[in-house]
Amino acid sequence: MRQRPLGRGAPPVSVVGYGGMHLSIAGRPPEDVAVRVIHAGLDAGMTLIDTADVYCLDQNDVGHNERLIARALGTWGGPRDRVLIATKGGMIRPDGRWERDARPERLRRACERSLQALKVDRIDLYQLHAPDHQVPFEDSVGALVELQREGKIRWIGLSNVSVAEIKAAEAIGEVATVQNRLNPFFREAIETGVVRYCGERGIGFLAYSPTGGGRLTKKLPAHPVLQRLSSELGFSPHALVLAWVLAQGPSVLAIPSARTEAHVRDSAVAGDLTLSDADRWAISEAHFDRS
Ligand SMILES: NC(=O)c1ccc[n+]([C@@H]2O[C@H](COP(=O)([O-])OP(=O)(O)OC[C@H]3O[C@@H](n4cnc5c(N)ncnc54)[C@H](OP(=O)(O)O)[C@@H]3O)[C@@H](O)[C@H]2O)c1
């Protein structure tokens, strides 16, 4: 599969990585199925897996997705050292709710727990899941810089941030990646200049919910432009949308999730799919209804 650098100072990875979230939140498949889905992604050439400590059901299940990934990597027959793992800290799941908690001491504890769950001595990419507005942003980023100095994490990433926040973080440490939402329904990462800024700085832009997320993804097969392109080009609407996302900037990577082997394989197909200017433009100009 096509490769691009994971981010500033980091080596190339597959342009389509695997997002683990749906293997661990409500509606998740049995663990044996989940392991097979991860293996299918790796076998299809994915060399990046995105996870988070909070991809789980609630506070009693924290680390579920990270443990699953460790299990899948431990039982995979391929070259483990070619696969980079990106995880996140800075959120909590009290009674299943999603809340932010990016206090420095909390991030440190979360990182220690992720090291154990992933069964590694050092985390490849550790991302601040989201700025916590109860905590000075610089303090949260500062905690990641300390973890990096101590050798517990290799590269620092941010998620759900603006250009101003990326710049504020860069004043404290090197930002390797930014992970924000980007899909044809939600284009704010383009409109606010985050994708462009990342491209200019060599910061990897990890597009999350790249096909719209659980609910909106289901609308893709009925979209008239995607239907037309799909029958002309012979690719699924899902793969066409991933190719559109990857075309939005030189440092963009996509991390779609999937709960089936067929879905993860179809995502991987997009890694070698380059749209013509006309086809890319047709998707850019089309309306994607979010209702
Ligand atoms: N940083 C953040 O705040 C944040 C927030 C959200 C997500 N993320 C990351 O981004 C990843 C992806 O986000 P997401 O899950 O919200 O959105 P997504 O990848 O856009 O959508 C996932 C949905 O797409 C479906 N799908 C996958 N391949 C398909 C195919 N070939 N045909 C039809 N449907 C297909 C999946 O269905 P099945 O499940 O049935 O296979 C799943 O329901 C997550 O795993 C996580 O790593 C990060």
Q: Which of 48, 129, 208 to mutate to test the pocket of ligand 1 (most atoms within 8 A of CB)?
A: 208
First to last CA, the chain: 34
Q: Which of 55, 98, 217, 290 to mutate to test the pocket of ligand 1 (most atoms within 8 A of CB)?
A: 217
Could you tell me which of 142, 140, 87, 93 has the C-alpha nearest to residue 115? Answer: 87
Tell me if 107 is assigned to some domain.
yes
CB burial of residue 290 (10 Å; 0-12, 13-18, 19+): exposed
The residue whose CA is least distant from atom 13 of ligand 1 is 209
Measure 36 CA to ligand 1 centroid, in angstroms. 17
- 195: pLDDT strictly greater than 90: yes
- Predicted confidence at residue 123, as pLDDT, reads 98
- Predicted confidence at residue 234, as pLDDT, reads 98
The closest-lying atom of ligand 1 relative to the alpha carbon of residue 264 is 28
Measure 232 CA to ligand 1 centroid, in angstroms. 25
Return phi, psi of residue 230, to 5°: -65, -45
Measure 14 CA to ligand 1 centroid, in angstroms. 17
Of the residues 18, 55, 126, 208, which is catalytic? Answer: 55
26-40 pLDDT tens trace: 999 999 999 999 999
Could you tell me which of 127, 107, 117 has the C-alpha nearest to residue 48? Answer: 127
Could you tell me which of 111, 45, 36, 38 has the C-alpha nearest to residue 270? Answer: 45
Number of separate domains in the chain: 1
55 is catalytic: yes
Q: Tell me the mean pLDDT in the region 32-60.
A: 98
Tell me if 282 is assigned to some domain.
no
- Predicted confidence at residue 241, as pLDDT, reads 98
CA–CA separation, 210 and 258 (whole Å)? 12
CA–CA separation, 157 and 178 (whole Å)? 6
CB burial of residue 94 (10 Å; 0-12, 13-18, 19+): exposed
Q: CATH number of the domain at 22, please.
A: 3.20.20.100
Tell me if 214 is assigned to some domain.
yes
- Predicted confidence at residue 161, as pLDDT, reads 98
- Predicted confidence at residue 218, as pLDDT, reads 96
Tell me if 280 is assigned to some domain.
no
Tell me if 185 is assigned to some domain.
yes
Q: Tell me the mean pLDDT in the region 253-274.
A: 98
Return phi, psi of residue 86, to 5°: -115, 120
Quick one: DSSP state of residue 276?
A: -
Tell me if 143 is assigned to some domain.
yes
To the question of pTM greater than 0.85 for the whole model, the response is yes
Tell me if 170 is assigned to some domain.
yes
Q: Which amino acid is at 228?
A: R
Measure 209 CA to ligand 1 centroid, in angstroms. 5
Tell me if 190 is assigned to some domain.
yes
219-255 pLDDT tens trace: 999 999 999 999 999 999 999 999 999 999 999 999 9
Average pLDDT score, the chain: 98
| Ligand 1 neighbours by CB, cut-off 6 Å | 19-22, 50, 159-160, 179, 208-214, 217, 236, 238, 255-260, 263, 266-267
- 214: pLDDT strictly greater than 90: no
12: three-class secondary structure by DSSP:
strand
Measure 262 CA to ligand 1 centroid, in angstroms. 14
Quote the domain boundaries for residue 113: 3-218+238-275
Cα dihedral 161/21/3/169 (nearest 10): 20
138-179 pLDDT tens trace: 999 999 999 999 999 999 999 999 999 999 999 999 999 999
- Predicted confidence at residue 213, as pLDDT, reads 94
74-103 pLDDT tens trace: 999 999 999 999 999 999 999 999 999 999
